[in-house]
Amino acid sequence: MLNLFAHPKRIFFVLFVCFIAFSVWIYTIPLFSPSQYSEKELHLVAEGRLVWQKYNCHTCHQLYGLGGYLGPDLTNVYSRSGNNEHYIRGIVKSGVKQMPAFEISEEEMNALLQFLKNVDQSGSSNPQDYQPEILGTFSLEKK
């Protein structure tokens, strides 16, 4: 009787085929799973990320604890009590303390708000709860 796993080349081939099949399966899951966002909303989120980058928001603000340290972390700014759309619009358009007022179009503002809403819904982050490390990263152990 011929043993399938008797030769190293056969073992490699079987493992390789299993790896390829698993990889294809993992990467196609998002294609077939329903999204909670419409195509228009996903496009707006992508545009908002570009607005975030265009105005260099990441140099002063953080998302998930990554970014600049001059401004607050904006991961959950959309859902914080009192921080609704009108509040965020007012801060961006008029500026506060070290943050300048931005001349931003209504389309850019809507895209930025959709991006911040999407980030807010994707998780939570409060870097002040974690211990900063000497290299600028954070320990996962809470203070």
The pLDDT tens digits of the residues spanning 99-128 come to 898 999 999 999 999 999 888 888 777 666
Using CB atoms within 10 Å of the CB of residue 133, give its burial: 0 to 12 exposed, 13 to 18 middle, 19+ buried: exposed
pTM of the predicted model, to two decimals? 0.66
pLDDT in tens, 29-50: 877 777 677 788 888 999 999 9
pLDDT in the model for residue 32: 78
What torsion, rounded to 10 degrees, do the Cα atoms 43, 89, 76, 134 define?
100
Taking CA atoms, 35 is separated from 29, 31, 43, 89, in Å, by 11, 9, 13, 27
Give the span between the Cα atoms of 50 and 25, in whole angstroms: 30
- Work out the pLDDT band at 11, boundaries 50, 70, 90: confident
Q: Does residue 141 have a pLDDT over 70?
A: no
